């Protein structure tokens, strides 16, 4: 199975842009899944529309959509629409994965909110439960600024508790002029990461760049098909 979960430390940390960047770097066939889209009504572009716009990837799948911009369990309840069943989500992702079995093929699954946000009110399953059921590793998208150390450590710790392999930590939006806290946090985030290196740093405003695939490759490490060099990046923002 070639499935990679994209989760985050919270909402609005850059999960969709990271998902698109990862998709742009896949050498084989890429399938992108968003189990639950919230905050978007029928006919309204959601996160998968953005992934397609940035990458051209059209093998995208949304399993449920709720109009209110809430966590999936609240959004489903308020809309009166059916909740997603974990077993059904797992089955559909496994079926999608089976359609393309090349060594470089990948199914990317973008979560909603953070790692333990409930998808249902009935059993409260989370993206962590989905990752565990699929035996899939997870990329954690986080912010660079003040507060990230606690949020990221808690997320990484929960992955370890649930036996989910951490594929890497990605900074979802790095500004042109990082503040002192951002620069100070880099080594701490690297210490939480596999191989002691952050796996990617996406520049702020990346959704508006002219060459998104090229920017994605430069922003993600070789483990994800990119050319990002953590040591060189870290040296470029030294001086704290």
- Which CATH number fits the domain that encloses residue 103? 3.40.50.300
Residues 6 or more apart whose CB falls under 8 angstroms from that of 148 comprise 9, 142, 185, 189
Q: How far apart, in whole angstroms, are the C-alpha atoms of residue 68 and residue 48?
A: 17
Catalytic site residue 34? yes
Distance from CA of residue 140 to its chain's centroid?
6
Catalytic residue, from 6, 16, 24, 34: name it.
34
Query: What's the number of domains the chain is made of?
Result: 1
What pLDDT, in 10s, does the model give residues 81-130? 999 999 999 999 999 999 998 999 999 999 999 999 999 999 999 999 99
Report the predicted TM-score, pTM, of the whole model to 2 decimal places.
0.96
Domain that holds residue 105: 3-236
Give the tens place of pLDDT for each residue, 37-54: 999 888 889 999 999 999
């Amino acid at each position: 199975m070639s499935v990679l979960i994209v989760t985050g430390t919270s909402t609005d940390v850059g999960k969709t842009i990271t998902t698109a960047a990862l998709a742009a770097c896949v050498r084989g066939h890429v399938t992108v899944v968003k189990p639950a889209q919230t905050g978007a009504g029928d006919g309204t572009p959601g996160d998968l529309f953005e992934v397609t716009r940035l990458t051209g990837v059209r093998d995208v799948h949304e399993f449920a959509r709720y109009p209110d911009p809430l966590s999936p369990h609240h959004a489903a309840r308020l809309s009166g629409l059916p909740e997603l069943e974990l077993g059904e989500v797992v089955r559909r992702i496994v079926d999608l994965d089976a359609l393309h079995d090349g060594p470089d093929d990948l199914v990317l699954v973008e979560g909603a909110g953070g790692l333990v946000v409930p998808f249902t009110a009935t059993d409260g399953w989370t993206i962590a439960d989905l990752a565990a059921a699929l035996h899939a590793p997870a990329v954690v998208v986080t912010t660079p600024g003040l507060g990230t150390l606690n949020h990221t450590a808690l997320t990484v710790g929960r992955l370890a508790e649930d036996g989910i392999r951490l594929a890497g930590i990605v900074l979802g939006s790095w500004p042109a002029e990082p503040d002192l806290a951002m620069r100070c946090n880099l080594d701490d985030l690297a210490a939480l990461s596999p191989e002691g290196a952050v796996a990617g740093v996406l520049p702020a405003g990346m959704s508006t760049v002219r060459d998104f695939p090229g920017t994605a490759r430069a922003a993600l490490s070789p483990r994800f098909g990119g050319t990002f060099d953590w040591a060189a990046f870290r040296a470029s923002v030294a001086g704290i």
